[in-house]
Amino acid sequence: MKIKILETPIFHIDGGAYFGVVPKIIWQKKYPADENNMCKAACRSLLVVDEKRVVLIDTGIGDKPEEENEDLYFTDYSENLIQNLANAGFSPNDITDVVLTHLHFDHCGGCFYMDKNTNSYKLYFKNARHYVNIKQWENAMTPNYREKSSYHHEKLISLQNEGLLVLIDEEFKLTENIELRIFNGHTPGLMLPVIFSEKNTLFFTGDLIPAMASIPLAWISAYDLFPLTSIEEKKNILNEAAEKNWIFIYQHDFYNVASYLNKTDRGIRAGNTIEKSEIEDL
Ligand SMILES: [Zn+2]
C-alpha cells in the first residue's frame, strides 16, 4: 500500500464559523487568524494505492473559475491537485476510484473542469467510479436553504451525466484495506475512510474533525447541521481511535497534517504530530 497526501487550493474560513460556539479567546491559542478573523484552511486529498486500485479521497475546490464574483474564501490556487498527482507519478486516467466524503464545494470541486467546446463541466477522472453516499446525494440535489450555496449543482449533475456516479447506502469496504464509515452530523451521509496500512490504521477526519484543534467534543464547526449528532459521532470515533491507536489525518488543518491521540484526564486529545513526509512510511 502507498499513501500520499495531495494538497489542493487552500481557502480561508471565518474563525467563528470554524470553531462554532468556542470563544475566540480560547480558539486563537490553538489556531491563528488574520486581522479579519480568517483562518487558513487546507483542503487535502488523500491518494491510496491498494494493490491495483488507485483511490483518491476528495478533490478539493478545483480549478480557478474564469470569471469569478467576489471570492469570500480568498482562495489561493497555487496548489493544484492534477499537478500534485503528476508529482506523485499518476495521471487522472490512472485513478480507479474517487471517494467523495460529501459534496460541499471544497471537497469535490477538483473532479470537474470546464469544457469550453460544450460550455459544460466534464470529469477529470474518466476511468474512476465516483462514490457518494445516497443520503448526501439526495441532500445535494434538493438542498436546504442553509447548505444551498455549498453545492454546485451544475458540476454535480455531470457526475450523473457521465455515468460514473456510484451511490452508497451503507458502510462498506472499498478495497481490502479501506473501509468507509458514515456520519450524519456535519451533513447527511458524510463518508470517511479508515485505512489499514501494513503498520498502522489511519482515519481521514474530513469535516467531522476538520483540524487538530477540533478534537475536544464541544469544538464543533458552525457549518455542522446537527451539532449534537456530531458530538456523539466524534466521541465514538475518538474512543475507538484512542483504543486502537489510530492516526488521524486532518483534512483542513493548515498547520498540522496528522497526529497520534492521547487519553488525558480531560478526555482524548492530540498526541505527537506527524509530518507530511512521514505519512508515506506509516
Ligand atoms: Zn463540508
**DSSP letters for 120-157:** EEEES-TT-EEEEEHHHHHHHHS--TTTGGG--HHHHH
- Ligand 1 centroid – CA 4 distance (Å): 22
- Ligand 1 centroid – CA 230 distance (Å): 12
- Ligand 1 centroid – CA 186 distance (Å): 7
- CATH number for the domain harbouring residue 19: 3.60.15.10
- Ligand 1 centroid – CA 158 distance (Å): 20
Ranges of H-type helices in 20-169: 24-27, 81-87, 105-108, 134-141, 153-161
Collect the ranges in the chain with pLDDT lower than 70.
none
In a 13 Å sphere around the CA of 99, the CA atoms on its Cβ side amount to 30
| Cα-based distances in Å from 73 to 16, 18, 45, 100 | 14, 13, 19, 21
- Ligand 1 centroid – CA 147 distance (Å): 9
> Which pLDDT value is given to residue 252?
98
The number of residues making up the chain comes to 282
Q: Could you tell me the residue range of the domain that residue 224 belongs to?
A: 2-279
> Which pLDDT value is given to residue 17?
97
- Ligand 1 centroid – CA 104 distance (Å): 5
Query: Near ion ligand 1, which residues have CB within 5 Å?
Result: 104, 207
- Ligand 1 centroid – CA 214 distance (Å): 14
- Are the CB atoms for 87 and 73 separated by under 8 Å? no
- Ligand 1 centroid – CA 95 distance (Å): 23
| Cα-based distances in Å from 270 to 40, 104, 196 | 20, 26, 20
pTM: 0.96
- Ligand 1 centroid – CA 29 distance (Å): 24
Domain count, the chain: 1
Nearest 5 degrees, angle CA 263-CA 30-CA 35? 165
Buried b (16+ CB within 10 A) or exposed e, 138-167: ebbeebeeebeebbbeebbebbeeeebbee
How far is it, in rounded angstroms, from Cα 159 to Cα 155? Answer: 7
- Ligand 1 centroid – CA 265 distance (Å): 31
